[in-house]
Amino acid sequence: MRLFVLAGLVAGLLAPTVSAQQNPGGSLAPPPKFFARDLLALCEGAEGSPRLAGCLRYLQASVAMYEMAVAEKELTWFCAPREAPAVLLRQQFVEWAKENADQMGQEAIQAVRLAMTDAFPCQE
């Protein structure tokens, strides 16, 4: 349940105004997909910019969500330091993205998992 609440909070931070997405029938249109290339564009924002802030928040929330999923399912995808600063997560994601340009078409959350798995492998 906590996983869904956290995912909802992340989506709320990144989603545009809901009323702008309504169609004439009054139902909500699905939000656009958020791809790895979109996250990379945010992460390449200028220091102090809202784009960079969005990147850092997305990465922190993604890592927190995976930590919760791992705890509940006894899975291990990556072992990022518990208090890893957002700038470290950003650095790792941007480096991974530049080395894996062919992966930029997948959803951002999957790209974050792959980047963090490369950057922070778990010790057996």
Residue 53 sits at φ, ψ, to 5 deg, of: -60, -40
| DSSP string covering 1-62 | -HHHHHHHHHHHHH---GGGGB-TTSPBPPPPP-BHHHHHHHHTSPTT-HHHHHHHHHHHHH
Query: Using CA atoms, how far apart are residues 56 and 50, in angstroms rounded to an integer?
Result: 10
CB-based contact 6:66 (threshold 8 Å): no
15-72 pLDDT, tens digit per residue, is: 443 444 445 566 788 888 999 999 999 999 999 999 999 999 999 999 988 888 777 6
Instruction: Tell whether pTM > 0.85.
Output: no
Q: Which residues contact 59 (CB under 8 A, 6 or more apart)?
A: 43, 86, 89, 90, 93, 112
Q: Which tens digit of pLDDT belongs to each residue from 83-120? A: 889 999 999 999 999 999 999 999 999 999 999 999 99
